Structure formats: structure tokens, C-alpha cells
Amino acid sequence: MSEVSTEKVAGGIFARASSGLVRTISTFDTFYYCLVQLAVTFVLFNVAFWVFYPGSNMEVATVVALAAALFEGVTYGLFSSIYPRSGGEYVPLSRATKPVVGFVASFGQTFWQAFGTGQNCAFAATFGLAPLLTILGLQLGNAKLVKLGFWFDSPMGWFVVGTTMILLFSYQLYLGMGTYFKIQKWLFSLALAGYVVFLVVLLLGATGVFDFQANFDKYTGAGAYQQVLLDAQADGVDLNPRITPQMTMFFVIWPAFSFLFAVLSTSFSGEIKNVTRGQLFAIPLAQIFGGILIFLTGLLARLSIGKEGILAIGWVSNVLPEKFPLPYAWLNSLASIMADNILLTIIINVSFLILTMYVAASTAIYATRGLMAWGIDGMAPAWISKVNKKHHSPANSVLTVGVIAIVWLAVFSFTDWFSAVTLLVPMGIVFLVTTFVAAIFPFIKREVYETSPARIDIAGIPLITITGSIGSVIMGWIVYRAIVDVEYGAYTPQGAVMWIVVFVAGAVWYYIARSVRRKQGVDMDARFEEIPVE
């Protein structure tokens, strides 16, 4: 196991004996992070855009996406146990293959996670704050609240709300992961409780306790619900399409947009107490738990609002918005209307606000650890990896990511360069590369594999090879579908250019950094033969 020897590292290949980070994160904290990063609230997309996949079965697509993601999750959990350091895919890929592969993958992943930090802050305003105020405004008969809600769901509202959020959780991260996870644990737990209330509201609607159609008409006028159905049908929408396996498989990429990202807890592997098995437990369990929530949400939405209702509302609100009588067609807004209760409106929408806000915080964590890992290896200025001695946090990388996130928040808010799902393609490519490399790892690094915690064989075949092979095939299909699926909208001319530019920029950065270090007398080849300092 000399290739990953920590003793050799301590001998002087790296400029310091310790990164300064400490192992304070429990397996439960890791599980919570994975569940946060999984973005349960993105189920709103599934319901809102289901109509564009006529004949798809939402629940079956969710189960298929979850099963597919579990192969990726187990693979990441095993791979991270071999190289238990913070930095995400960077350390395993740069040590298992060519360093340039690991750096370019990490550069892309870190860039898009920083972009996602800003974007997800905007989503928090769109999914939580705006529906909260507009629906409350309707229920209270207060036009000013409705107007304020619309402002928060405007470019300037996104930027103001997002900047405030970025500053708040950047400060939490500066105080250290221990502090961050304490705050996240309580707020996220309260938000999850609110999400359960949301599911109960949908259940009560499905059992007839709440009458969605009646309350929809109460706020929008007699016959408004039926008019939405008629408008959709007049526009050519089949509200009772025949279920087909093909359309169901096409729809899989929507729930996959949530499940695939749970693996990004590998960004802080070097800070987890149970380093050999923490990720292997936390990632799949979070995917399963989140999968149950998303499955139940889709099922109960269909039963409480009705299949015809969901399809008609989805079409009219997206294609004929001038004919949709409510401010929002997000499922949490519809549930609030269905319950027709001010307290439930507050609970449901505040929970969506908090859940989505912490998705943004989780993406920021990944980006900070990516930058720090580059600094430790010498692929970025050393100051970026400096750790605050009091809080054991990478203060400079936290500051840098906060600034970058605000810049990308502005780009997302004030331009139309990127769609909401642009980042799935480049990040999916990194998932694909990682699962593939993990699959062949036992054969290209046999000595390391034989002495690693990942050595689990089934019928003589490494488990990581089985899960990695299946996972890479699935990831290849998902990336392909994300590119060619017009309804999904990941592909835009500007977005496609940015995919290429970011990966090329990563390669250019890599070779410039190596050249600079070579002139400084640093043996980068020797450095990449070892695992970084802990």
C-alpha cells in the first residue's frame, strides 16, 4: 500500500504534516449532508414538468432513478474509503489515474458547485419565500404580500435573497464544520418535520378530507379548475395518456437530478470520524430515505390533485401562463391552497425555503474543499488551503467560494445564459468518469485495492467493479438523455460552450500550475504518487 502511505507523506513530500482539518463529522452528520445535497424539494420540478412526458409513470421513474443512483452511491462510498481525504473526486482520480484527469474533473465539479450555490439560493426564493408570501396574501386578502412575493421571485429578489444566504452560511462554514453541522441539524430537522406536514396535507387531500378543486375555485373563481382542464385539452394535451415504458425511462432524468448528488459528501471525507465506512453507510441510506420522500410526494400529489389536474396545471402554467389563475403552480403552493389554512401555509413553505437554502450551503462546502485540496497539492496558491487554527476551517477557500457564488448568482439572476439544469451534464460527466475509474481500480491499482477497506468481493468479482460498471453505464445514458432531451432543457448554446470552456480551462490551469511548480523545484510526479496530508 506504499502508493497511499501516510508515513511517506509525513516524511516531507508535502510542505506540511497536517492539513489543519479535524475529524469532527459523524456518520449521521454525513447522512444529513447527503440528504440535503439530494435536494428533496427539486421534486417540484418532477411534478411541474411531468406533462411534457405523456405516458410516463412518475412513481416507476422515481424507483428506477433511485436504483440507478444506488450503484453510483455504493461506488463512491467504496472509492472514498481508499482515499479518505477531503476534496471530492480530485484525490481518488488524481491518484488512481493521471493527475490531469483528477484535476480537470475536480475543476469542473468545483466550478459547477460554486455556480450551483448561487443558483440554489435563487431557487430558495422561488420555491419557498415567494410562494409563502403570495399564498398568504391570497388567504389574508393582502395584495401587498402578493406583490412582495412576486418581487422576491424577480432577478433582483433572487440576488438580494441569495447574497444574504451566501453571507450567512459562509460565516457558518468559517466557524467550522462542527458549528455548521449543529446549526444545519436543527434547522434541517425542523424543515423535514415541515415536509412531513406537507405530505400529510397531500394524504388528507387524497383521502377526501381536503378538497383541492373546491379550494382552488374558492380563490380563483367558480369553475376555474375545470377551465384549466379545458384550456389544456384545447391546446392538444391528452390528460389520460397511455403509460409507456419509453416515456417512463425518458422521465427518469428528472428524479435522477436529485438522487445523483448525494455522493458529494466525499468532498469532506478527511473530516469524517468513521472514515472507512461512514460514506458507504451515509450515501446509500440518504438516497433511499430521500427516494422514499420523493416517491411519496409524487404518488400523493397524483392522488390528491388528480392525474388530470396535475397534467393540466403543468401545461397551462408553463405554456399558457396568462391563463393560469394562481400566482404559482409549484406543488407546495397547490398544497397550501388545498389545505386553506394559514398556519399550514407557513409550515409548508418555510420548510421548502430552509430545505432549498441548505442545498446551496451543501454545494458551497464541496467547492471550498475542492479549492483546499488543490492548494495542498500545489495546484493552486498555498494560501487557498490555509486553515484557521481556532475553527479548523479553510477560511480563505470559504471566502473565495462565497465571492464566486455571489458572482454566479448575479449571472444566473440577470442573464438567460443558463437553464436551471445546465450543470447536470458536466457534473454527470464527472460522475461517469469516477464510477468508471472506480470499476477498473482493482485491476490498475491491485496492490492498493488488496489492502484497502474497499476490498469486498462477490463471487470473486470486486464489489466496486460491479457497482462501478453498472453505475458508469447508467451515468452515460443519463448524460446522453440530458443533452438530447429538449424538454429537459439542459442544453443551451451558451451552456454547451461553458461545459467545454470549463473543462478546457481546467486542463490549461493544470499544465500552467505544473510548470510553475517545476520551476520552483517541486516534484509534482512524486506528490501525486501519494495521498495528501490529513
Domain with 364 in it: what CATH number?
1.20.1740.10
Residue 383: burial class (beta carbons within 10 Å; 0-12, 13-18, 19+): exposed
Per-residue H/E/C for 418-466: CCCCCCHHHHHHHHHHHHHHHHHHHHHCHHHHHCCCCCCEECCEEHHHH
Counting Cβ atoms within 10 Å, is residue 397 exposed (0-12), middle (13-18) or buried (19+)? buried
pLDDT above 70 (res 510): yes
Torsion angles phi and psi, residue 458, rounded to 5: -125, 115
pLDDT for position 204: 97
Quick one: cell of 55? 405516458
Whether 533 maps to a domain, the answer reads no
> Quick check: 234 pLDDT over 80?
yes
Contact status, residue 282 vs residue 198, Cβ threshold 8 Å: no
Strand partners, 25: 272
Looking at residue 534, what is its pLDDT?
Answer: 62
Higher pLDDT, 499 or 492: 499
Lowest mean pLDDT across 44-53, 266-275, 465-474: 266-275
Per residue in 284-333, pLDDT (tens digit) is 999 999 999 999 999 999 999 999 999 999 999 999 999 999 999 999 99
Maximum pairwise Cα distance, the chain: 78
Residue 439's φ and ψ, nearest 5 degrees, are -65, -40
Model confidence at 9, in pLDDT bands (50, 70, 90)? very low
Long-range Cβ pairs for the range 94-99 (8 Å, 24+): 94/377, 94/528, 95/3, 95/4, 95/528, 95/529, 95/530, 95/531, 96/437, 96/438, 96/441, 96/444, 96/445, 97/437, 97/444, 99/510, 99/524, 99/528
Name all contacts of 59-63 with Cβ < 8 Å and 24+ positions apart.
59/295, 59/298, 59/299, 60/248, 61/248, 61/249, 61/251, 61/252, 61/254, 61/255, 62/255, 62/291, 62/294, 62/295, 62/298, 63/291, 63/295
Instruction: Count other Cβ atoms within 10 Å, centred on residue 196.
Output: 14
Range of lowest pLDDT (59-68, 262-271, 486-495): 486-495
Reading the block at residue 335, the C-alpha cell is 398544497
Q: Evaluate if residue 387 carries a pLDDT over 90.
A: no
Distance of CA 50 to the CA centre of its chain: 20
C-alpha cell at 330: 409549484
Burial of 223 (0-12, 13-18, 19+ CB in 10 A): exposed
- For residue 16, name the pLDDT band (cuts at 50, 70, 90): very low
Q: What is the mean pLDDT of residues 156-176?
A: 93
pLDDT of residue 424 exceeding 90: no
Nearest CA-CA partner of 374 in 155, 142, 163, 532: 532
CA separation for the pair 427, 445 (Å, rounded): 25
State which H helix or E strand residue 374 sits in. Answer: helix 342-377
| pLDDT tens, residue by residue, 326-376 | 999 999 999 999 999 999 999 999 999 999 999 988 999 999 999 999 998
Query: Can you give 473-497 as a three-state secondary structure string?
Result: HHHHHHHHHHHHCCCCCCCCHHHHH
Q: In the predicted model, is pLDDT for residue 2 greater than 60?
A: no
Of the given ranges (127-136, 172-181, 311-320), which has the lowest mean pLDDT?
172-181
When pLDDT is averaged across residues 27-37 and rounded to a whole number, the result is 91
User: Which residue is associated with the grid cell 449521521?
Assistant: 28
Lowest-pLDDT range of 31-45, 278-292, 315-329, 410-424: 410-424
**CA-based Rg of the chain, rounded to a whole angstrom?**
23
Q: Please answer whether residues 114 and 299 qualify as being in contact, where contact means their C-beta atoms are separated by less than 8 angstroms.
A: no
Across 210-226, average pLDDT: 95
Unique residue bearing C-alpha cell 460491479: 466
State the residue range of the domain holding 212.
2-527
Kindly give the residue spans of alpha helices, DSSP state H, lying in 252-306: 253-259, 278-305
Neighbours of 230 (CB within 10 A): 13
d(CA 284, CA 74) in angstroms, rounded, equals 6
Mean pLDDT of the chain: 90
Cα–Cα distance between 344 and 355 in angstroms, integer?
16
Displacement of CA 92 from its chain's centroid (Å): 21
Quick: pLDDT tens for 458-468.
999 999 999 99
Q: Would you state the pLDDT for residue 5?
A: 37
pLDDT of residue 163: 95
Total domains, the chain: 1
Residue 1 has pLDDT above 50, yes or no: no
In a domain, 534, yes or no: no
Rounded to whole angstroms, the Cα distance separating 31 from 422 reads 26
Task: Give the mean pLDDT of 203-214.
Answer: 96
User: For residue 436, how many other CB atoms are within 10 A of its CB?
Assistant: 19
When pLDDT is cut at 50, 70 and 90, the band that residue 8 belongs to is very low
The DSSP call for residue 86 is: B
Answer whether 78's CB lies under 8 Å from 471's CB: no
Is 35 within 8 Å of 253 (Cβ atoms)?
no
Q: Which position has the grid cell 429538449?
A: 486
Dihedral angle over CA of 441, 445, 446, 449, nearest 10: -70
Q: What angle do CA 432, 71, 27 make, to 5 degrees?
A: 105
- Domain contains 532: no
CA-CA distance, 283 to 27, in Å (whole number)?
10
Q: Which amino acid is at 525?
A: D
Q: How do residues 426-455 score in pLDDT, each as one tens digit?
A: 999 999 999 999 999 999 999 999 999 999
Q: Predicted confidence band at 19 (pLDDT cuts at 50, 70, 90)? A: low
User: In the prediction, which pLDDT does 486 show?
Assistant: 87
